[in-house]
Structure 1
Amino acid sequence: MSTTLSPDGQAILLLTAPLMAGRMELSADLLTLGEYGCLAVFLHEVQRGPGDLLTVDADSLIRQCQEIVDGDRLRQLLGRGFLLSQAVDRWQARAIWVVTSADTSYPQRLKERLKDNAPAVLYGCGDATILETGGLAVVGSRNATPALQTYTEHIGQLAAHAQQTVVSGGARGIDQASMRGALEAGGTAVGMFADSLEQAALYREYRSPLMEGRLVLVSPYDPMAGFNVGNAMQRNKLIYALADAALVISSDYQKGGTWAGAVEQLTKLRLVPVFVRSCGDIGKGIQELQNMGALPWPNPSNPAELVRTLRLEQDPTTTTHNEEVVPTHAHQSMAEPPIAMQTKPAPTKRRARPAKPAGIIAEPTLFDSTPEAITPKKRAATAHKKTEGKTDGEEGEADHADD
């Protein structure tokens, strides 16, 4: 990812980004996503771009924009050039890149699926090309039981062996379990953070996969931004938009980010098929999501089956989440989650990466049965030490939303 900002990129950051370099409070009266969208449409209609607001003759253009955004407000925001340079220096020192909707490197999946709701700015650390690979979105509560976390790790391992990216929210609990399972098995992962991206980029467990090009951490919010409930809710759609299908491991009923994000997908956005866990005690939240049209997770037992599951919406003979589905209590008869993946990975168009062994699993599964051992494979460059997201010199981890 290039660290050079185009004039359009600079203008978008000045108009919409808080630029928190060395400070935690928000600065100036930033344009909302809707306000910037209206401004961008107007600029396009007059055959101009955001970068034209930074030229020497920008005053006349700003006057033309007066009916869209107050001219004095635009001038105040565009006058934050020194603050922008400080922020860019800070991001570059921490290997954080920034891309705006005006850049060709902006993820096409977000533009095509979210259109006007795509964030104007994305911050990230790691290989940005992973954002275009699709894969499986895995979401659930951060207050998950150890059994559910183990179950989720197995899902991440299977995705890795199928060479399918795991997309999640980076919060502790289900999110981190899915990413951990994928990364420790040599796969790729996307962490879509709602806050504290700068801190997350320093986690020891992420260091090796970031350097190896198997992980990208990304956020639509300033890298220094703290937790905000609204931000946590809004970023849910980005997780779904980057994936080919989604799996809800656990959810409270009518509350929490996981519930809100899944309901939004099932009733409004309908970007991808939404599956729900079909094994064990699924709880009222999962059952109600299934009643809304979510599909019971078919518990694929090998990489090829997982790939077919993720391509569900491309199969005209298969009922999708947009069609009426008769709810079933599938958890009473579904098989256990896969934990033995001895089959070779399914072919993929993405660049091949050597798979790391997930190790011999001796822990009980969600159903207290004895899992089979995963066949060891040749180990990639660096082994990953299992941590709880700690940075150097820290003993705790960032507390994220209940997703």
Structure 2
Amino acid sequence: MFDELTYLIYKVLRIKGYGAVSMNKALLTLSHNEALFSNEDHSIEPLKKWIRKEFTDRFFEPDDDLNKMLNFACDKKVKFINVLNHQYPISLKKSLTNSTPPVLSYIGNVNLLNTYKVGFCGSRKASEKGLEVAKDCAIQLSERKIAVVSGYASGVDIQTHYWALKSNGATIIVLPEGINHFYIKKELKEVWDWNRVLIISEFEPNSIWSTSRAMQRNNTIIALSNAMVLIEAGEKGGSIDAGEKALRMHKYLFAPIYEGMPEHAIGNEILLNKGAYPIRKSSKTMRANLNQLLKAVAIG
């Protein structure tokens, strides 16, 4: 079941003009102490009083649609973490500050949030060489017990999730839509293991995919990750946008360089000129040299 605080937060977020920023500011103001954000034994009475002042008692009338949506999620074994819960990722609070998602819905092994993590962004139409590099990186990271974090699109996203799981590693899928729309894609069914998978969404459980949500979701991938790898970004689009966001958020960003880099992957060179680090093939192992990335993970 979902708790009352989660329900109230969703109700506030449904009100026009009250997004994550205003919700988090209200929670911080009402708590009077940021330490409360790591204390699960909080009281929701201050929030109730604030809601009554802002929206009148009519706000507390039953919302059948919201109840139905959350109950459907719970039937799918979805659970919820709000920003006052001790399980809520500290990295999201630090990296996203006021725009931290007030509630995360999830299915799977929530303990993966406490592991070292490398995020991946890249083209849905990556070249065979690009997919091979993504595979190599995912396998090497899994061998070192470092989890993969990525979206759920074709191309680089699915490639990294697949090879992390195939290599007995762990992976975190961050959705650009509500978690009630989640299903296990056919490419991953043979390697799927709920003990090594975490599905996360920052949106209402029934929210549909949109470009703006996909862009917003990239912020969460970056914030959750100790370092980011970008594979075959174009000059424009979601991948290079994610790379630029990573640099602005002071995350270590890595862009592989290899022979036969397709012309459409000009974004890698652009980001390298802006401060990303290259990943090159090791002449000894003939695999991607991840030494600098591994050091960055330990620092970040």
Normalised-by-shorter TM-score class = 0.7 to 0.9
**Match of residue 269 from structure 1:** 249
Separation of aligned partners in 1, 2:58 and 2:257: 53
Contact 2:73-2:179 at 8 Å conserved across structures: no
**1:123 aligned counterpart, secondary structure:** strand
Match of 1:244 among 200, 203, 226: 226
Task: After TM superposition, give the deviation of residue 182 of structure 1 in Å.
Answer: 0.7
Give the 3 Å change call, closer, same or farther, for CA 107–312 of structure 1 in structure 2. Answer: closer
- CA-to-partner distance for each residue in 1:45-91, whole Å, 9 max, x for gaps? 49997822676xx4xx446x5xxxx435xx55543444443223211
Separation of aligned partners in 2, 1:42 and 1:185: 45
Match of 2:22 among 5, 23, 35: 35
Q: Is 1:312–2:293 an aligned residue pair?
A: no
Give the 3 Å change call, closer, same or farther, for CA 151–50 of structure 1 in structure 2. Answer: same
Quick check: which has more Rg, 1 or 2? 1
Task: After TM superposition, give the deviation of residue 210 of structure 1 in Å.
Answer: 5.8
**Match of residue 92 from structure 1:** 74
Q: Is 1:197–2:179 an aligned residue pair?
A: yes
Task: Pick the structure with more strand per residue.
Answer: 2
**Match of residue 214 from structure 2:** 232
Task: After TM superposition, give the deviation of residue 10 of structure 1 in Å.
Answer: 2.9
Give the 3 Å change call, closer, same or farther, for CA 219–208 of structure 1 in structure 2. Answer: farther
Query: For 1:90-129, what aligned pairs fall within 5 Å after superposition?
Result: 90-129=72-111
Query: For 1:55-70, what aligned pairs fall within 5 Å after superposition?
Result: 58=49, 61-62=50-51, 65=53, 70=54
Separation of aligned partners in 2, 1:210 and 1:198: 19
Paired AA for residue 272 in structure 2? Q
Contact 2:228-2:246 at 8 Å conserved across structures: no
Give the 3 Å change call, closer, same or farther, for CA 302–116 of structure 1 in structure 2. Answer: farther
- CA-to-partner distance for each residue in 1:174-216, whole Å, 9 max, x for gaps? 1111111111111100111112533333435556766541011
Query: For 1:7-46, what aligned pairs fall within 5 Å after superposition?
Result: 7-16=4-13, 28-29=15-16, 31-45=18-32
**Match of residue 164 from structure 1:** 146
> What is the aligned length?
289
- CA-to-partner distance for each residue in 1:14-43, whole Å, 9 max, x for gaps? 212x5xxxxxxxxx5362112212322332
Paired AA for residue 269 in structure 1? M
Paired AA for residue 239 in structure 1? I
Separation of aligned partners in 2, 1:229 and 1:309: 29
Task: Pick the structure with more helix per residue.
Answer: 2
Separation of aligned partners in 2, 1:39 and 1:103: 16
**Match of residue 257 from structure 1:** 238
- CA-to-partner distance for each residue in 1:343-392, whole Å, 9 max, x for gaps? xxxxxxxxxxxxxxxxxxxxxxxxxxxxxxxxxxxxxxxxxxxxxxxxxx
Separation of aligned partners in 2, 1:231 and 1:210: 26
Separation of aligned partners in 2, 1:103 and 1:149: 37
**2:44 aligned counterpart, secondary structure:** helix
Give the 3 Å change call, closer, same or farther, for CA 148–80 of structure 1 in structure 2. Answer: farther
**Match of residue 39 from structure 2:** none
Separation of aligned partners in 2, 1:46 and 1:297: 43
**Match of residue 258 from structure 2:** 279
Unpaired stretches in structure 1, ≥5 consecutive residues: 19-27, 321-403
Paired AA for residue 294 in structure 1? A
Give the 3 Å change call, closer, same or farther, for CA 207–97 of structure 1 in structure 2. Answer: farther
Paired AA for residue 78 in structure 2? I
Separation of aligned partners in 1, 2:135 and 2:141: 10
**Match of residue 44 from structure 2:** 51
Separation of aligned partners in 2, 1:307 and 1:213: 28
Paired AA for residue 273 in structure 1? Y
Paired AA for residue 296 in structure 1? P
Task: After TM superposition, give the deviation of residue 107 of structure 1 in Å.
Answer: 1.7
Give the 3 Å change call, closer, same or farther, for CA 11–262 of structure 1 in structure 2. Answer: same
Separation of aligned partners in 2, 1:14 and 1:210: 34
Length-normalised TM-score, structure 2: 0.84
Paired AA for residue 219 in structure 2? K
Identical columns (%): 20
